[in-house]
Amino acid sequence: MSEFGLSGTELLITGGAGFIGSHLARALAPDNEVTVLDDLSTGRRERVPDAATFVDGDVRDRRKLKRATRNADVIFHQAGLVGVEQSLRQPTRSNHINTGATVQLLDYARTYDTRVVLASSAAVYGHPDSIPVSEDDCLEPTSPYGVDKLAADHYARVFADRYDLPVVVLRYFNVYGPRNGSNPYSAVVETFLRQALAGETITVHGSGDQTRDFVHVDDVVRANALAATTDAVGRSYNVASGTARSIRALAELVKDITGTDSRIVHTEERSGDIDRSEADLTRAREQLGYEPTTTLESGLRSLIEDGEAVTPSHGG
């Protein structure tokens, strides 16, 4: 058995050429039969490990989706149109990809009795009433993206209840790490590091008092592996570090770690920014056995040491 608890299993990773999906593929391909379905609209083919089978296809293509799901024991559904801004520009497209395609995937999964681990988002919470936010707290998304993810979240619960489908939903907070591409939820980490290493001013939107819960992609991979083997199905789980950092504190930390002389400059506040974000990990700890292991400090240092902090952004 591999360190991730999966071995000799047929796995499908939708969006497996993207940021989180490619990390999953690299972690799981050595001990399992991994198929990656990705249309490369934002992902990159070279991210897919040689040991995995690559299928070039849109998750909305029913024929390709059905063929890819037919033999899978577990589906990691990572494909989607990511981010609030894109959904505001293209709400219909966001709905088709993030909700419509997910419902189709769940329907194929119930046909073939396949377990599904579904990527969701902290965007389902909107502006939380209290911090840290738990899975049972108020769900009032403030963007089409958040609504789409919440709809998929509810569909997963209904498929579990009505069809006895083994499905687990993971609500990601601000995921960062190597090969993060243009992931909007970790863009501030990449931006601050790039600015600091180039000796440029570090630009903070607004006061910098707004908080985020940054989680390293390695911890997200472990959460997915745990979700693929847990008996606690039919539920949603927060995936985060469980620690809030203000954007100003992140900027100061980046300055300290890089040793830069860059000044921190405050710019105009971004419209619609959520003020506070921090996850309650109680349910994930108790029912999945999830425990984040990478601190923000060590995660940032590893990005710098590996040269990832100065790598140009790409989609994914």
pLDDT digits (tens, 9 = 90+) for 281-307: 999 999 999 999 999 999 999 999 877
What does the mean pLDDT of the chain come to? 93
User: Which DSSP category does 288 fall into?
Assistant: I
Amino acid identity, position 156 = A
Residue 313 pLDDT exceeds 60: no
What percent of the chain clears pLDDT 70, i.e. is strictly above it?
Answer: 94
| pLDDT-based confidence at residue 2 (cuts at 50, 70, 90) | low
Write down the pTM of the prediction: 0.94
Catalytic positions, please? 145
| pLDDT-based confidence at residue 73 (cuts at 50, 70, 90) | very high
| pLDDT-based confidence at residue 85 (cuts at 50, 70, 90) | confident
Q: What is the DSSP string of 63-83?
A: HHHHHHHTT-SEEEE--S---
Q: What is the mean pLDDT of residues 66-91?
A: 93
pLDDT of residue 3: 75
Token pair, residue 66, equals 């059905």
Q: What is the mean pLDDT of residues 208-235?
A: 97
pLDDT of residue 84: 83
pLDDT of residue 314: 30
| pLDDT-based confidence at residue 100 (cuts at 50, 70, 90) | very high
Residue 62 pLDDT exceeds 80: yes
Q: What is the mean pLDDT of residues 199-212?
A: 95
Domain 10-178+214-242+279-293 sits in which CATH superfamily? NAD(P)-binding Rossmann-like Domain (3.40.50.720)
Token pair, residue 114, equals 């396949």
User: Please, which contacts does 113-116 make with residues 24 or more away whose CB atoms are closer than 8 Å?
Assistant: 113/165, 114/69, 114/72, 114/73, 114/74, 114/75, 115/73, 115/74, 115/75, 115/166, 115/167, 115/168, 115/228, 115/233, 116/74, 116/75, 116/77, 116/156, 116/165, 116/166, 116/167, 116/168
User: Please, which contacts does 62-71 make with residues 24 or more away whose CB atoms are closer than 8 Å?
Assistant: 62/104, 64/37, 65/37, 65/101, 65/104, 65/105, 65/108, 66/108, 68/12, 68/14, 68/35, 68/37, 69/12, 69/105, 69/108, 69/109, 69/112, 69/114, 70/108, 70/112, 71/10
User: Which DSSP category does 265 fall into?
Assistant: E
Model pLDDT for residues 149-190, shown as the tens digit of each residue: 999 999 999 999 999 999 999 999 999 999 876 566 568 999
pLDDT of residue 273: 74
Q: What is the mean pLDDT of residues 81-107?
A: 94
C-beta neighbour count of 1 within 10 angstroms? 8
pLDDT of residue 311: 45
Q: What is the mean pLDDT of residues 109-130?
A: 96
Which has more pLDDT, 86 or 78? 78
| pLDDT-based confidence at residue 309 (cuts at 50, 70, 90) | low
Token pair, residue 302, equals 């590893």
CA angle in degrees (0–180, nearest 5) for 47-18-211: 125
180 within 8 A of 19, measured Cβ to Cβ: yes
pLDDT of residue 161: 98
Amino acid identity, position 188 = V
Three-class SS state of 191: helix
Q: What is the mean pLDDT of residues 111-130?
A: 96
Least confident of 79-93, 132-146, 238-252, 276-290: 79-93
Tokens 């796995």: give the residue. Answer: 11
CA angle in degrees (0–180, nearest 5) for 160-12-153: 35
Q: What is the DSSP string of 94-161?
A: HHIIIIIHHHHHHHHHHHHT-EEEEEEEGGGGBS-SSSSBPTTS--B--SHHHHHHHHHHHHHHHHHH
